[in-house]
Structure 1
Amino acid sequence: MRESLRQKAIEICDKKIAQKGDNVGVSFYAFFKNKNDAPDALMEAARWWIETHQLDHFEKAVKIKGLIEKGL
């Protein structure tokens, strides 16, 4: 996953955790605006989420942040 997307995902996870606690769930769609203005990045995130890690649609933000920080 490209570095800019990694940083964005970590920021979103941090924000969600701060707002709603450690049990908050996220989807990779949370890393993007409601319009498809970055289709390459969206597909990259989808591949990382679905193909590489076989994650459910919603996962705990803490888990996603941990995976990203470990470079997985």
Structure 2
Amino acid sequence: MRKALKEKIIEVCHRKIEQKGTNVGLSFYAFFANKNDDPELLMEAATWWILTEKLDHFEKAEKIKKLVSKL
């Protein structure tokens, strides 16, 4: 996973946890704008989320942050 994507995921998870609490759930789309301006990065995130980690559509932000921090 690219360093920039890893940092973005951790930052978004941290922000969402601060806003909505430790029980907040996210999908990998939470790390991107509503427009598809970087399809390669989106596919990298989707591949990691779906194929590598085999995560459900929505997962707890705390769980995602821990998984990405280990990379």
TM-score band, normalised by shorter chain = over 0.9
How far 1:47 sits from its partner (Å)?
0.2
TM-score (norm 1): 0.97
State how far apart, in whole Å, the 2-side matches of 1:53 and 1:69 are.
Answer: 14
State how far apart, in whole Å, the 2-side matches of 1:38 and 1:25 are.
Answer: 23
State how far apart, in whole Å, the 2-side matches of 1:9 and 1:54 are.
Answer: 17
State how far apart, in whole Å, the 1-side matches of 2:59 and 2:53 are.
Answer: 11
State how far apart, in whole Å, the 2-side matches of 1:3 and 1:57 are.
Answer: 23
Report runs of 4+ in structure 1 exceeding 3 Å deviation. none
> Identical aligned pairs, as a percentage?
66
1:44-59 mapped onto 2 (5 Å cutoff): 44-59=44-59
How far 1:26 sits from its partner (Å)?
0.5
User: Match of 1:35, as an amino acid?
Assistant: K
Q: Which residue of 2 aligns with 1:12?
A: 12
1:1-72 mapped onto 2 (5 Å cutoff): 1-71=1-71
The count of aligned residue pairs is 71
State how far apart, in whole Å, the 2-side matches of 1:53 and 1:11 are.
Answer: 19
SS at match of 1:43: helix
SS at match of 2:57: coil
State how far apart, in whole Å, the 2-side matches of 1:2 and 1:26 are.
Answer: 20
Aligned-pair RMSD on alpha carbons?
0.3
